[in-house]
Structure 1
Amino acid sequence: MDPKRELTSVDLAALVGELGAYEGAKVDKAYLYGDDLVRLKMRDFDRGRVELLLEVGETKRAHTVAPERVPDAPGRPPQFAMMLRNRLSGADFAGVEQYEFDRILEFVFEREDGTTRIIVELFGQGNVAVTDGEYEVIDCLETVRLKSRTVVPGSRYEFPDSRTNPLTVSREAFDREMEDSDTDVVRTLATQLNFGGLYAEEICTRAGVEKAMDIAEADEDVYDRIYGAIERLALDLRNGNFDPRLYLADEGDDDNESESDENGGDGDSSPDRVVDATPFPLEEHVELASEPYDSFLAALDDYFYRLELAEDEEETDPTTQRPDFEEEIAKYERIIEQQQGAIEGFEQEADALREQAELLYAEYGLVDDILSTVQEARAQDRPWEEIEERFAEGADRGIAAAEAVVDVDGSEGTVTVELDGERIDLVAKQGVEQNADRLYTEAKRVEEKKEGALAAIEDTREDLAEAKARRDRWEEEDAAAEGDDDEDEDDDRDWLSEPSVPIRENEPWFDRFRWFHTSDGYLVIGGRNADQNEELVKKYLEPGDKVLHTQAHGGPVTVLKATDPSEASSSDIELPESSIEEAAQFAVSYSSVWKDGRYAGDVYAVDSDQVTKTPESGEYLEKGGFAIRGDRTYYRDTPVDVAVGIQCEPYTRVIGGPPSAIEGQAETTIELEPGRYAQADAAKRIYRRFRERFEDESFVRKIASPDRIQHFMPPGGSRISEE
């Protein structure tokens, strides 16, 4: 039995009650680890420190954890974490709800300046969306552009389509769902009633119903027993009647057939592999050893902690543990198929909306008669029911306009007409032109969704191609692999293949600036804004340094350092031409030249003593500006080019700059050029590539988050050069 990695809908229904006990707790700080784990540090007046983890990656969970088990805070808070801190610091936790019976939790936080909602999607690819009190998305870990829903910053958050909630379903609705099925009982409960596999089986067992029974063979008595078992489960969840359990199995015993005595003893071995945690004992787990807990939150904390420990202790040879490329490839192929369906759906929907608008104009007179009739009646304060009756009477008399009306909805203020076999909803208070314009506008909006879906499918196709390429590389390397016991382990290590890369952190004094080391070992630093440009010239510019700047307006002050600030400066050092050229490329790449989508620009270089902050009489220098005295050396048509890489020796960190310098210092690099992807989106793509290249994915998550990668990217749009 594989261990549980995702919380079920039943788990979330149980969690809501226990998490609600922390209402009133104040948020201290928020953290983001990698791209899928959010941590909220809170203070509860009765319980003290409260740590809430929300994870939406391969493991999907939401629960409190013991403070001593909290992961160390990342060295540099990413943008998403800073946004959360700005909105939540000092806010009160106002409550949490489960959306319908879906695997979605909505956390609400209140502060004097407004409401913040954190919506955690624990299904599919997972997501965390942060919205204001009106559900406008402020930011999200993943953007969603599908036919059924959109989740992007600036738009209103859209929940997935509602599904049957088995905890509140009426007996009549339950019967309909069961009778509409064409499979067996357990599959019907899992899919039609949305219980999922485990709890569908549990309901059958509690009801004493054969799981594989064909739904056509189920009679009224079977329905009574199943519905009764569902009602009892729902009552336990509503009333918090929990008796949490953590379940364990013997290591290596996938069939759960460990030797036990008749009383549930463990025989000669004790189970040591956690496989599940549930809010109450399950008859489906009766063969497993279990441990009781006082709360479900405590059981989940212990479960995921022990699961992570067990995985960390696994010492398997990565060369013999082949990744499941086929499953990954199949997943991307399924996603592409769904995205293609969405695109086709958008096309059909847009075409249908335009056709409806054209039908309104084709039947202008008839539609105008209908709308005028409704508007005149409403102006006389006639109720909607009377208007509907008048259309029905007119249809009986054969009046064409009345015959076209198929529905009148007073609550929405709409009239539904049927024209040429097509049903169209009209806003009654608007005229024909306004209704047609509304349909054209909606068609345009759907077309925009289609464009987003086209971009998304291209991303997925790239992921698919990369997965196939990794599979092919693995198979080639596996076929060619030969043992070489005589190889000196002190030679260059292949860090990409290492199962665990040790982290050696170092945050140098220049890390807050843009920076890189040239291929000759000289430090180059550049300002990120006017304040930093000012600081570089006033504080860090020394004799012997070179200053470079683009001829185009809008670029960093770039300083090629002859010595470190801790060393004695010297004007006698002759800087290599190769370092000056790399510094010139750095200056142009991080300037407005890149942002404008151009591929080259002019750069000039001067000595440090030619730079002054003192303007001539009649001149004015803005903050970050400086004056040049004397001749300049120009580097014409310097090409823009930036590489971002991960360095493993002597320190583990992200670095970036001209490829000629970075490629010799990093274990792996990705080259960029101006392109259509926003900086944040491009950083996520680079992050995914790095994770795929390293065997130790956790190493990449720890030192190379998308926000850290952005630190070394040029302003403006980018794309990976090989794409």
Structure 2
Amino acid sequence: MDPKRELTSVDLAALVTELNRYEGAKVDKAYLYGDDLLRFRMRDFDRGRVELILEVGDTKRAHVADPEHVPDAPGRPPNFAMMLRNRLSGADFAGVEQFEFDRILVFEFERDDENTRIVVELFGQGNVAVLDETGEVVQSLETVRLKSRTVAPGSQYEFPSSRLDPLTVGYEAFVRNMDDSDTDVVRTLATQLNLGGLYAEEVCTRAGVEKTTAIAEAGETEYRALHDALDDLRTRLRSGEFDPRIYTDDDGAVVDATPFPLKEHEREGLDSEAYDSFNDALDAYFYRLEVEEESEAEEPTSTRPDFEAEIEKKKRIIDQQEGAIEGFEEQAETERRRAELLYANYDLVDEVLSTVREAREEGVPWDEIRETLDAGAEQGIPAAEAVVDVDGSEGTVTIELDDTEVEVDVDDGVEKNADRLYTEAKRVEEKKEGALAAIENTREELEAVKKRRDEWEAEDEDDEGETEGEGEADDEFADRDWLSMESIPIRSSEEWYERFRWFHTSDGFLVIGGRNADQNEEIVTKYLNKHDLFFHTQAHGGPVTIVKATGPSEPSEEVEFPESTKEEAAQFAVSYSSTWKEGRYAGEAYMVTPDQVSKTPESGEYIEKGSFVIRGDRTYFRDVAAEVAVGVQCEGQTRVLGGPPSAIEERVATSIRVQPGRYAQNDAAKMLYREFKERFADQSFLRKVASPDKIQEFLPPGGSEIVED
């Protein structure tokens, strides 16, 4: 029996009762893992730390988790997580309800300045939509545009069409819906009454009605018994008095978690374990399911040090450090902008400060000053309208300037307040410099771990020698039909270049490109050697692209690059540039040698971070197609690959071509993932090796769509 991966409507009806017991808990922070798992860290007065987990991918679940079962915080938070933090930090959890009898939960959060609803769709492809107080979508994990409904930022959220609720249907309506069917009793309950397969069978068993009875042969006796069983189910769910169970098979593997014992599972001979609450049962069930699947995929243990775990730890630290650096940059920029706004609105700010200062010198209480300013705002006085807060305990006033709030000290003038903000920006930038030094140290430690791993593996090879038959095994792997295999072995290792954009040309040369200005700068200053090739596009905002002649630790050697390698590097540069983002299907790239690339501008000119001066003649590649292929590699390393089609398609078990289009990057990644799911028999392998977030790394920024064959 396959383990349950999605909560049923009955599960959600039971879960809502228990989740509402956490009403009043305060939200601390929100996290997004990949593109389908949300975690809300909250604080409850009675229970302490509360971890709410919402997952809408291949596994669809919602429950409060034991802190020991919560994954480590990811590195740099994506935009969706940052939006949630801005809207929900300090908000109160006001409750959750199930939409009708559908697999949809609606969470309510309240805060003084704004309320937020989060709609969690636990059906189909799964989705999470964040709504403002008017029901408008602020942001959603996935954009939905169907004839029947739309879920997209800026639009009013639309629930799916209403379905019959079997827990509220009266007897007469129940009979009419049953009689409308032309199949048997159990399938009618599952579909017409929306119970789903498991609970349709359970209702039949509890009612004593043979589930294969044809509707044409069912009469009032059967209908009364079935409706009474539904009544009993409704009473159990609404009372909140559950008797939760986790069911396991003969091997002890988990297969289901239910709010009360099921006769159907007892008939199947499944073992059961009782839990105090359904929420606890769900948490334990999904945690055990994840542990069991991970242990199945693990290689046999050995005395070999766990280099991969250490490497992953260093990478997590780097992610966190990069996130901190990005935060420092944003904070410094915010403080500088506030200082500039004070000068840009000098007269208005000076009027506010002078008015409040004079009132204080005359002994006017802060409360009266606040009331006077409120009255002035109602009269339309600009200086009073700009004041959004008065804090007598700190002696400060907060002024809104161009949609930005700036806190100023009443005892200081405009210049002194601005200087204080500039000083704060400088202090934050100094913290950034320290973080940059720390991240460089961590990267060196990461390289040292990788070197130790490589040395260990080299020693193993020396000890074992080259045994007869190894080449035959490689040939056997090469001939396999990877798509139909039920279990594909996972073989992976992290390479130094994988944090950049990268691919290997069809001739075997490594090509790397920057994901942002910082990486563009790093690639040129640290990895561009004299025998490499440098590519860039005529369009602004493209990655620095380098074809490597040799590895970074190898002596630089002059090589003859084939034309095919140059053409693929040019296509890579075009495809990952603003050409794609602008929806154009072709662009232009140029090639130069490293000695033509410089950071020294002409006199009187300025070069932005990640930009360079190119001197001398350029070799142009015109009308280059903006198109990439994304595929799953199974031979050798198992991973996602992406880049020019001619370089990728021969290296992977299967691939999909994409071109500029209308689907956002994360939506396009999910579309490709769903297509790969149709092709691979081993779904567990695909989830671990080619999840949507791994696919997204190889998609160009901007909209995309699949190239039809």
Superposition TM-score tier, normalisation by shorter sequence: 0.5 to 0.7
Answer yes or no: is 1:32 the counterpart of 2:33: yes
Match of 2:513 in 1: 526
Is the 1:31–1:40 Cα contact (8 Å) retained in structure 2? no
Indicate conservation of the 8 Å contact 2:507/2:562, yes or no. no
Residue 243 of structure 2: SS of its match in structure 1? coil
Q: How does 1:82-231 map to 2 (within 5 A)?
A: 84=84, 92-110=92-110, 114-168=114-168, 173-179=170-176, 181-182=178-179, 194-196=194-196, 198-199=198-199, 230=230
Are the equivalent residues in 1 in contact too, given 2:51–2:70 (CA < 8 A)?
A: yes
User: Residue 515 of structure 1 is aligned with which of 502, 505, 510?
Assistant: 502
Whether the 8 Å CA contact 1:242–1:280 is kept in 2: the answer is yes
RMSD: 4.3
Residue 504 of structure 1 aligns with which residue? Answer: 492
Distance 1:648 1:217 in 2: 54
Instruction: Tell whether the 8 Å contact from 1:80 to 1:139 is kept in structure 2 after alignment.
Output: yes
Q: Distance in 2 between matches of 1:156 and 1:284?
A: 42
Q: Confirm or deny: 8 A CA contact 1:95 1:109 kept in the other structure.
A: yes
Question: Which residue of structure 1 aligns with residue 542 of structure 2?
Answer: 555
Distance 2:138 2:568 in 1: 39
Aligned-partner Cα distance in 1 for 2:490–2:11: 36
Q: Which residue of 1 aligns with 2:258?
A: 278
Alpha-carbon distance in 2 for matches of 1:523, 1:313 = 34
The separation in 1 between residues aligned to 2:90 and 2:283, in whole angstroms, is 25
Equivalent residue in structure 2 for 1:297, among 276, 279, 292? 279
Alignment size in residue pairs: 526
For the residue of structure 1 that corresponds to 2:63, the secondary structure is strand
CA contact (8 A) 2:174 2:227 kept: no
Task: Give CA deviations for 1:227-278 in whole Å, capped at 9, x if unaligned.
Answer: 6665554444333222223345667xxxxxxxxxxxxxxxxxxxx5655433
Contact 1:513 1:527 in 2 (8 A): yes
Quick one: structure 1 residues 615 and 175, their matched pair in 2 at CA, closer, same or farther if it must change by over 3 Å? Answer: same
Contact 1:645 1:667 in 2 (8 A): yes
Closer, same or farther: CA 87–223 of 1 in aligned 2, 3 Å: same
Q: Give the distance between the partners of 1:284 and 1:603, measured in 2 at CA.
A: 65
One-letter amino acid matched to 1:489:
A
* Aligned twin of 1:682: 668
**1:547 partner letter:** F
Partner of 1:491: helix, strand, or coil? helix
CA distance in 2, matches of 1:276, 1:639: 50
Written as runs of structure 1 = structure 2, the 5 A alignment for 1:479-628 is 488-491=472-475, 493=477, 494=480, 496=483, 497=485, 499-506=487-494, 508=496, 510-538=497-525, 540-566=527-553, 573-574=558-559, 576-578=561-563, 579-617=565-603, 619-628=605-614
Q: State the match for 2:352 in structure 1.
A: none
Q: Give the Cα–Cα distance (whole angstroms) in 2 for the partners of residues 166 and 661 of structure 1.
A: 55
**Deviation at residue 201 of structure 1 after TM alignment:** 5.8
How far apart in 1 are the matches of 2:618 and 2:527?
21
1:20 corresponds in structure 2 to 20
Instruction: Rate the CA distance shift 1:500–1:548 in 2: closer, same or farther, 3 A.
Output: closer
Distance 1:608 1:150, change over 3 A: same
**Distance in 1 of aligned mates of 2:256 and 2:44:** 29
The residue type paired with residue 548 of structure 1 is: F
Q: Secondary structure at the match of 2:656?
A: strand
- Cα drift, residue 582 of structure 1: 3.2
**Alpha-carbon distance in structure 2 between the residues aligned to 1:657 and 1:72:** 31
Query: TM-score w.r.t. structure 2 length?
Result: 0.62
Q: What is the TM-score when the length of structure 1 is the normalising length?
A: 0.61
Deviations 1:270-292 (A, max 9, x none): xx565543323345556455432
- 1:594-615 Cα offsets, whole Å, 9 max, x none, are 4455554443322223223333
- CA 1:202–1:247 in 2, change beyond 3 Å: closer, same or farther? same
Q: 1:181–1:215: 8 Å Cα contact kept in structure 2?
A: no
Bigger Cα displacement from structure 2, 152-161 vs 137-146? 137-146
Question: CA–CA distance in 1 between the matches of 2:266 and 2:653?
Answer: 50
Shift of 1:119: 2.0
SS where residue 160 of structure 2 aligns?
coil
Residues 64 and 279 of structure 2 are in contact (CA less than 8 Å); yes or no, is this contact kept in structure 1? yes
Q: What displacement does 1:296 show?
A: 1.3
Structure 1 144/637 Cα, relative in aligned 2: closer, same or farther at 3 Å?
closer
Distance 2:694 2:227 in 1: 52
Residue 15 of structure 1 and its aligned partner are, at CA, apart by 0.8
> Using a 3 Å threshold, how does the CA distance of structure 1 residues 84 and 516 change in structure 2: closer, same or farther?
farther
Distance 1:637 1:240 in 2: 66
Task: Confirm whether residue 662 of structure 1 aligns to residue 648 of structure 2.
Answer: yes
Give ranges in structure 1 of 5+ residues lacking alignment: 252-271, 316-484
Larger Rg: 1
Contact (CA 8 Å) 1:179, 1:215: kept in 2 or not? no
Q: Deviations over 1:176-227 (max 9, x none)?
A: 44356526887776666544555456556666788759799866x9988776
Q: CA deviation at 1:104?
A: 1.6
Question: Partner amino acid for 2:472?
Answer: D
SS of match in other structure, 2:473: coil
For the residues of structure 1 that align with 2:58 and 2:535, how far apart are their CA atoms?
A: 46
Aligned to 2:443: none
Quickly say closer, same or farther: Cα 1:702–1:113, change in 2 above 3 A.
Answer: farther
Alpha-carbon distance between aligned partners in 2 of 1:531 and 1:234, rounded to the nearest angstrom: 58
Distance 1:696 1:575 in 2: 41
Residues 558 and 278 (structure 1), Cα distance of their counterparts in 2 relative to 1, 3 Å cut: closer
